[in-house]
Amino acid sequence: MNDKCYGKMFPDLNELQYKKKYSGKVFSAKINHQPIAITSREIYVDDKQWQKCLKCDSFTSCYNLSMAKLNLISAIKK
């Protein structure tokens, strides 16, 4: 297991700010906003890093932890 990236496939979206790109090990996101509305949402995937993650022995548990953290952030934001 690589402690530097374990559970960090997705960006930490807990303190979300508009027009700032948030990056995880594989996935990144940015929300563009004008004064009256969100104008676009951008999602990025680092395909090279995804291929590295797929080869990691800890992939399944890392992915599960990454998803759990993302779901928890989503749940408490509502």
pTM given for the model: 0.82
Q: What is the pLDDT of residue 58?
A: 96
Residues 6+ away with beta carbon under 8 Å from 77:
none
Alpha helices in 1-78 (DSSP H): 47-55, 59-77
How far apart, in whole angstroms, are the C-alpha atoms of residue 29 and residue 22?
A: 5
The string of pLDDT tens digits covering residues 15-62 is: 778 788 999 999 999 988 877 877 888 999 999 999 999 999 999 999
Which sequence spans correspond to the domains of the chain?
22-77
Residue 31: other Cβ atoms inside 10 A: 17
3/27: higher pLDDT: 27
